[in-house]
């Protein structure tokens, strides 16, 4: 890892994004909602590092606050999918038999649906909002975690300490929580890291289509969407959110792949 420049670039970039999101209120040079009629579609300069949008709002400030929203949505969505996936995979692998068959067949059915179109359909039904986006992304992304945890549990349940716990009269719930899940969690951490990048991309796609974070709240996808209509005269409105989304997804993917190898 010490010689892997791409890995360390990813670590530094994600650290900058996270720190900027946390301290956006201190770092942002302008209020992200302030409108300046005298600075409409102003290109990047020393006063507005990323330029301004169609109503004179500073894009750099909006990008900082949007990072807070995008990271929050992605982390909570991945947290939901991880919890659901670990629970389903642990129950399925530990009890096996008909429980395993039912849960895995349901997982297989969920995997047959194109995830993004499933998310689109659900969001259209329940309505676009930050909370709905987090829940929908989380509840449609647990299947890979479940299958991974199940595979680990099938190996772990044959270990001597599991048999010893059963002989000591420990309950199934105790064994799952105390022994099974802690020993099956390592690959889940890697999967969750990869999942954050995917969640960022999904949230950005939904916001770009107007089905994610709603105006005036900014997300990277919504800023990108606002720039598509003026891309011929204001390239910066699409370029900066686009490049940040791209680098964020690539960075999380690189980190996840490196953790997988190790």
pLDDT digits (tens, 9 = 90+) for 216-239: 788 888 888 888 888 888 899 989
Q: 0.85 cut: is pTM over it?
A: no
Token digits of residue 43: 């290109």
Residue 25 in any domain: the answer is no
Say what the pLDDT of residue 15 is: 92
Out of 17-21, 148-152, 257-261, which region has the weakest mean confidence (pLDDT)?
257-261
d(CA 158, CA 120): 41
Residue 53 in any domain: the answer is no
Is it the case that residue 102 has pLDDT exceeding 60? yes
67 in Cβ contact with 220 (< 8 Å): yes
CA of 146: how far to CAs of 28, 54, 94, 149, 183, in Å? 40, 45, 12, 5, 15
Say what the pLDDT of residue 5 is: 85
Token digits of residue 245: 């989304």
Residue 187 in any domain: the answer is yes
Residue 57 in any domain: the answer is no
Is it the case that residue 81 has pLDDT exceeding 80? yes
Give the residue-averaged pLDDT of 209-217. Answer: 78
Residue 99 in any domain: the answer is yes
Is it the case that residue 243 has pLDDT exceeding 90? yes
Say what the pLDDT of residue 261 is: 54
Query: What's the CATH number where 119 sits?
Result: 1.10.3720.10
Contacts of 121 (CB under 8 A, 6+ apart): none
Residue 35 in any domain: the answer is no
141 CB neighbour count, 10 Å cutoff: 24
d(CA 243, CA 117): 24
- The domain of 171 spans 76-261
Mean pLDDT over all residues of the chain? Answer: 85
d(CA 199, CA 249): 9
Closest C-alpha among 245, 242, 150, 138 to residue 195: 138
Q: Percent of the chain scored above 70 by pLDDT?
A: 98
Token digits of residue 214: 């709603």
Residue 134 in any domain: the answer is yes
Residue 49 in any domain: the answer is no
Say what the pLDDT of residue 177 is: 84
Q: How many domains does the chain have?
A: 1
């Amino acid at each position: 890892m010490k010689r892997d420049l791409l890995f360390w670039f990813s670590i530094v970039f994600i650290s900058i994004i996270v720190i900027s999101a946390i301290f956006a209120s201190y770092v942002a040079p302008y209020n992200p909602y302030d409108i300046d009629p005298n600075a409409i579609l102003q290109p990047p300069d020393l006063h507005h590092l990323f330029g301004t949008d169609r109503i004179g709002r500073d894009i750099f400030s909006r990008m900082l606050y949007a990072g807070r929203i995008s990271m929050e949505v992605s982390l909570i969505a991945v947290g939901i999918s991880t919890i659901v996936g670990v629970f389903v995979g642990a129950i399925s692998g530990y009890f096996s038999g008909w429980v395993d068959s039912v849960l895995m067949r349901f997982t297989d059915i969920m995997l047959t649906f194109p995830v993004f179109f499933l998310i689109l359909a659900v969001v259209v039904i329940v309505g676009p909002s930050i909370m709905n986006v987090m829940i929908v992304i989380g509840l449609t992304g647990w299947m890979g975690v479940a299958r991974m945890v199940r595979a680990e549990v099938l190996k772990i349940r044959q270990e001597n300490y599991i048999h010893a716990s059963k002989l000591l009269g420990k309950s199934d719930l105790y064994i799952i929580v105390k022994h099974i899940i802690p020993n099956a969690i390592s690959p889940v951490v890697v999967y969750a890291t990869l999942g954050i990048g995917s969640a960022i991309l999904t949230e950005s796609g939904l916001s770009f289509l107007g089905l994610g974070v709603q105006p005036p709240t900014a997300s990277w996808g919504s800023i990108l969407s606002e720039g598509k209509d003026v891309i011929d005269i204001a390239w910066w409105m699409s370029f900066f959110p686009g490049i940040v989304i791209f680098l964020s997804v690539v960075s999380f993917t690189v980190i996840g792949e490196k953790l997988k190898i190790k």
